[in-house]
């Protein structure tokens, strides 16, 4: 008995990635809408039949704009160069619909 191994085509892989990405966007928007509705109820623990959701307050935090601080200090080109490193390049995959 022989074994048949099916390998996906590039077209099938691209289409599947696009469909999954679109579904993630749709589900993310739905998640954000439902989360916003629960947040309107205020802080608390809300129970469903299979899940529970904790709505809680996160206190404010100070955030330093280090770029603005550095620009204000007017560092020399040598100082900037001494503390600059290069991140390695990498491949990305970004699906989009083909125009009909």
Q: What is the pLDDT of residue 100?
A: 54
**Across 7-11, 55-59, 78-82, which has the greatest mean pLDDT?**
55-59
Average pLDDT in the chain: 92
**pLDDT of 28 over the 90 cut:** yes
**SS3 per residue for the chain:** CCCCCCCCCHHHHHHHHHHHHHHHHHHHHHHHHHHHHHHHCCCEEEECCCCEEEECCCCCCCCCCHHHHHHHHCCCHHHHHHCCCCCCCCCCCCCCCCCC
List pLDDT tens digits, range 37-55.
999 999 999 999 999 999 9
Contacts of 97 (CB under 8 A, 6+ apart): 18
Res 67 pLDDT > 60: yes
Residue count of the chain: 100
Residues 17/9, Cβ–Cβ less than 8 Å: no
| Of 3 and 30, the one with more pLDDT | 30
Query: Which pLDDT does position 35 carry in this prediction?
Result: 96
- CA 32 – CA 38 distance, rounded (Å): 10
Q: Within 13 Å of residue 52, how many CA atoms lie on the same side as its CB?
A: 6
């Amino acid at each position: 008995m022989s074994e048949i191994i099916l390998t996906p085509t590039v077209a099938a892989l691209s289409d599947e990635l696009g469909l999954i990405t679109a579904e993630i966007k749709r589900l993310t928007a739905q998640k954000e809408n439902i989360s916003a509705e629960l947040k309107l109820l205020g802080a608390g623990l809300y129970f469903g039949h299979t899940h529970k959701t904790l709505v809680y307050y996160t206190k404010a935090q100070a955030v330093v704009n280090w770029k603005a601080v550095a620009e204000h200090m007017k560092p020399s080109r040598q100082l900037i160069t001494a503390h600059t490193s290069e991140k390695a390049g990498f491949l990305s995959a970004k699906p989009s619909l083909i125009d009909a």
